[in-house]
Amino acid sequence: MDDQLSHNDPDLELARQIGDLLEHGQSLESVDDPLIRELAAYRKRQHRSLAREPIDSETLWNRIHQATTRSGPAPAARIFSMPAVRWAAAAAILVAALSGILYLQFLQEPQLVAESASAVETVQLPDGSEVTLRPHSRLFSVSETDDQLLYQLSGEGYFEVITDPSRTFAVAAGRGRVDVLGTRFTVSSWGNRTQVFLEEGTVRFEGSSKTDALVLEPGQAAVLNQYQANPVLTEGSASEFTDWLRNELVFENRSAKRIFDEIEQHFGITISAPQNVTEMYLSGSLSLEDREKTLAYLGQTLDGRFRQTGERSYAFITNRE
């Protein structure tokens, strides 16, 4: 058939992206596609009226269909690359709409539960669980049902979850998702990777493939980077994953790039450095009490210094320059 999609068809790839993000409770706003932008614009136009009345999935889909096929400038129906080619994306969105997920993503904004500025913040959630947020982190409530609480994390957090066998507690971060019943664990999404460390209890950490999810045991950690479909176990002591709770940074044979990533998250800054510096491996610890002192000490260790290039940006300069 002329409208069948090849393996490298951009429309099939769009459908796959939509399915992956929806499956993990993550926002579709990151997808750079005209169809998604049109739906996002539709959400902004309709959000207020929809928030005041209950919406079932059939009514929701009818409204989206009407909004994207009426006459006017650049309707979504005219964005399609060719007739019937975007059936994969349309099918994915239709399934999502009929299951209520599209309503969650586009018409019901995730609600900000807590955020931290330059200091650690601890908040108690409605079910009694507690989360401690690393500086410059944000926690959103995505959905709350009888059998599941789903949150979305940006940055890093330490979770102490109340045991409730009747309901799953889940956290989406980066490209991964963590499902728990009652436990203590950390989740981070900085540095283009999602990392989980389990202190107590049991968690299930999954990427884009649920079949290859990891069930962690206390003391274990796993990581999912931007190039992986599934998380893998990683080495590290408990002190390295919970160090920020004590306002310090502990690292054992870690690349300078990873250390920079963590400092960027903790202080809300950006750091640039030559590749030969970022590829150096270090062991030790740093106090995180003061940004300038932290950077000064790290600069000395790397035989250089950090020069401030903007309000919240720094560049590493070697002593040879």
Token couple for 28 = 């579709």
Q: Is the pLDDT of residue 96 over 60?
A: no
pLDDT for the residue numbered 24? 54
- Higher pLDDT pick, 102 / 238: 238
Q: Is the pLDDT of residue 314 over 80?
A: yes
> C-alpha dihedral over 220, 225, 231, 232, to 10 degrees?
-60
Q: Return the SS3 of 162.
A: coil
Give the separation between CA 180 and CA 77, rounded to whole angstroms: 41
Q: What is the pTM of this model?
A: 0.68
**Which residue's entry shows tokens 């590829």?**
279
pLDDT tens digits, 222-241: 999 888 889 999 988 899 99
pLDDT tens digits, 237-294: 899 999 999 999 999 999 999 999 999 999 999 999 999 999 999 999 999 999 999 9
Is 286 within 8 Å of 248 (Cβ atoms)? yes
pLDDT tens digits, 174-212: 989 999 988 999 999 999 999 999 999 999 999 877 678
Token couple for 53 = 């009345």
Ordered strands of the 313-318 beta sheet: 270-272, 313-318, 304-310
pLDDT tens digits, 287-307: 999 999 999 999 999 999 999
pLDDT for the residue numbered 227? 83
Query: Which is it for the CA torsion 28, 32, 38, 42, positive or negative?
Result: positive
The domains found in the chain, sorted by start residue, are 10-107 (no CATH), 111-238 (2.60.120.1440), 247-318 (3.55.50.30)
**Which residue's entry shows tokens 């650690």?**
120
Give the separation between CA 225 and CA 193, rounded to whole angstroms: 4
**Which residue's entry shows tokens 């080495």?**
235
